[in-house]
A and B are shown apart, each in its own frame.
Chain A
Amino acid sequence: MKESGQDISQTFSIAPPDEASGKKLGVRTPYLGLFFLGLFFFMVIFADLISPYDPYASDLSKGTLPPFWEKGGSAAHLLGTDFLGRDQLSRIIHGSRMSLIVSLGCIAIYGTIGVILGLISGFVGGRTDMIIMRLTDIWQSVPGLIVILLLVSVIGPSAKTVIISIGIAGWPGYARIVRGECLSLKQRDFVRLAKVAGCSNIRIMASHIFPNTINTLLVLTTMDIAGIIVLSATLSFLGLGTQPPSCDWGLMLAEGRQYITYAWWLVTFPGVAIAITVIGFNLTGDWLREILDPKQVLR
């Protein structure tokens, strides 16, 4: 038996897949991305423990100190201080919390709107689908930033407003993707089984179709967080986001802008923090998409 087995393998020359295709199949773990993300969440969770100073405590006598390796810098303030003498490192560490709160808040709002509309649109179909999708088209044709700016200037700038306005502006993407998933899922046999069992449409949507979209939503959310961090930083930079004296990376950029000629560290470090976090989320999102949907990798 064993010999015949060898014969077959020789005749058909079962060779290991060549290097190129092997590389395509394997999913590389994004160590850098995960490290950045880990760093971000470490700051979020242990902000109170690891930040050397109170991020709001100002000491004008120590205003605009450079980072420790520059001339005039000291090891007491590793990344220097801002114009009010607040410790940069502490503010960046605490700023991570604001970024996370804002992005999660936005996603909670527009994720909910998008998922519900997408499920209804995909599942009910027909005229309902048409109406919701055209509404989505209209919503998407208006530049998001303009809508947000409008909302913020009407309601008044604050972190809460940023969350609400991005939340209201951002749902079309979710609605579209959930609708697409729903269209293919509702044809599946387990949905028919649920119907045969006498489940109502709402129940089928909530407990059969929605759980099957979570993979996609997780990837989408991870990618979106990066976008929202940049967007909220933009709003803060324009003075329409979080207001002083809160710790927010975008706000720190805005405040540091006027000192850029002689205190480069005031804009550089918040910028680096934003970049690192966004890269972390993006790399991890790509990776999640590949491991959660193996078919995508083969394509």
Chain B
Amino acid sequence: MASRKDILLEVKNLKTSFFTKKGVIKAVDDVSFTVKKGEVIGLVGESGSGKSVTSLSIMRLVPQPAGKIVSGEIIFNNENLLNKSETEMRELRGNNISMILQDPMVSLNQLLTVGYQIGETFKHHGKADGNLLDKCINVLKKVRVPSPETRVNNYPFQFSGGMCQRVLIGTGIANNPELLIADEPTTALDVTIQAQILQLMKDLRNETNASIILITHDLATIAQICTKVYVMYGGRIVEKAPIKDFYKNPQHPYSEGLIKSVPVLGKRVKRLFAIEGQPPNLLHPPPGCRFEPRCTKAKKVCSQKYPPEIELKKDHQVSCWLYG
């Protein structure tokens, strides 16, 4: 157990639900995890498994009025974020906790210059002195945008997708946040740019010792920079593992399926492995384990009760009846 000082963020039993006309959708159901200082963790899962909602919950930006954090604690630097007022949260956002959004092409306001949008993070936090322009140029330099002196006055439509993503990362890291949440930062980019962006994030972590939560469904990305992986399925974390254990020895049948379905270069297979079935409907989730209907190793108990979290060894927990 790491000492309390090392822990930057602790999410305890977080439950976030969406209250719709059809019923309550439990998008995040009893999720707990910790992020240590300087740690890069990966949050993996299919679309709709609750990764993004988890991150929005941490930022306290769950879409209103349908979405609501029902219960739980989000402890950041020994303070519970859920008890903070909106004004206090605003102070933290962009300053201590920051986020990189998914789609670079639509996340920037097309009518404002790139420099203005980076400058906004400074301005709002009272860090805008005379050399705001220099600061923005510095940010662009940090994210390796070529000729930042001229680019700072350009508009987003004059940038390519990869460059926009860099700008977005720039807005995320402008104030040297302690926690950076990157929500699929490389999904919209092609592979060569992906590698550059990941390298960039690695460098930034080394420079500023920020913690990063990387949300993705791309296992290759996780393998490159994360030290720990949290696998989410149907709004819950099903496995928590160090990166090496996760690849060599995935314990949860779902993690196993995920890893199996990645094509391996040089290994010829007739058909790629696929996990059968559909992700659960969170409006009416299965009563037991969420993965049970698709699981090949399901036992009787799986359809009745949700499995407890079982510690296999240090830092490796799994929620599955196979081990209980």
Q: Which of A192-226 contact B (CB under 8 A)?
A: 192-200, 203, 207-208, 211-212
Set B91, B93, B109, B111: member contacting A196, Cβ < 8 A: B93
Q: A125-B65, A189-B103, A192-B101 are in contact. Are A197 and B108 (CB under 8 A)?
A: no
Specify the chain B residue showing the minimal Cβ separation from A189. Answer: B107
Q: Number of contact residues on A: which range applies?
A: 10 to 19
| A to B contact number (C-beta, < 8 Å) | 71
Contact indicator A189/B120 (Cβ below 8 Å): no
Query: In this assembly, does A126 line the interface, its C-beta being within 8 Å of a C-beta of chain B?
Result: yes
How close is A126's CB to chain B, nearest CB, in angstroms? Answer: 6
1/0 per residue B89-108: CB within 8 Å of A? 01111110011011100111
Contact indicator B101/A211 (Cβ below 8 Å): no
Contacts of B262 in A (CB 8 A): none
Specify the chain A residue showing the minimal Cβ separation from B64. Answer: A125
How far is A194 from B120 in the complex, measured between Cα atoms in Å?
8
Contacts of A199 in B (CB 8 A): 90, 94, 120, 124
Specify the chain B residue showing the minimal Cβ separation from A207. Answer: B112
Specify the chain B residue showing the minimal Cβ separation from A200. Answer: B90
Contact indicator A189/B93 (Cβ below 8 Å): no
Count residues on chain B whose CB falls below 8 Å from chain A CBs: 30
How close is B143's CB to chain A, nearest CB, in angstroms? Answer: 15
Contact indicator A192/B93 (Cβ below 8 Å): no
Contacts of B117 in A (CB 8 A): 193, 197
Q: A198-B91, A200-B124, A208-B112 are in contact. Are A193 and B101 (CB under 8 A)?
A: yes
Contact indicator B109/A198 (Cβ below 8 Å): no
Contacts of B95 in A (CB 8 A): 198
Query: In this assembly, does A188 line the interface, its C-beta being within 8 Å of a C-beta of chain B?
Result: yes
Query: In this assembly, does B59 line the interface, its C-beta being within 8 Å of a C-beta of chain A?
Result: yes
| B interface with A by C-beta (< 8 Å) | 59, 61, 64-65, 90-95, 98-99, 101-103, 106-112, 117, 120-121, 124-125, 168, 171-172
Q: 11 A–B contact pairs at CB < 8 A? A: A189-B101, A189-B103, A193-B171, A196-B61, A197-B93, A197-B117, A198-B90, A198-B93, A198-B124, A199-B124, A203-B124
